[in-house]
Amino acid sequence: MSPALQARIRQLQAEAEHRRAVAEFRERREAERQARIRALLTELIDALAQLPLEADAWPNGRSRAAA
């Protein structure tokens, strides 16, 4: 095998490894992003669940639906 061909093979292998590393990084970043979104949604749901549902619990005496 010629030295030029060997160099090209190494170059292609390096490019393939770089593409794999970039893909893995993006997958990890997306998984972390989804985990943050799930945590924020859970916090939001918990906060909304603590809101009063009765009309007399609201300062103006109206329900949330009428507000």
Q: What is the pLDDT of residues 32-49, one digit of tens each?
A: 999 999 999 999 999 988
7 part of a folded domain = yes
Q: How many helices (H) and strands (E) does the chain have?
A: 1, 0
pLDDT for position 10? 98
- Domains contained in the chain, number: 1
Q: 3-12: per-residue pLDDT in tens?
A: 999 999 999 9
66 part of a folded domain = no
Average pLDDT of the chain is 89
* Residues 64 and 58: beta-carbon distance below 8 Å: yes
60 part of a folded domain = no
* Backbone phi, psi, residue 63, to 5°: -75, 165
Query: Which residue range forms the structural domain that includes residue 14?
Result: 3-49
67 part of a folded domain = no
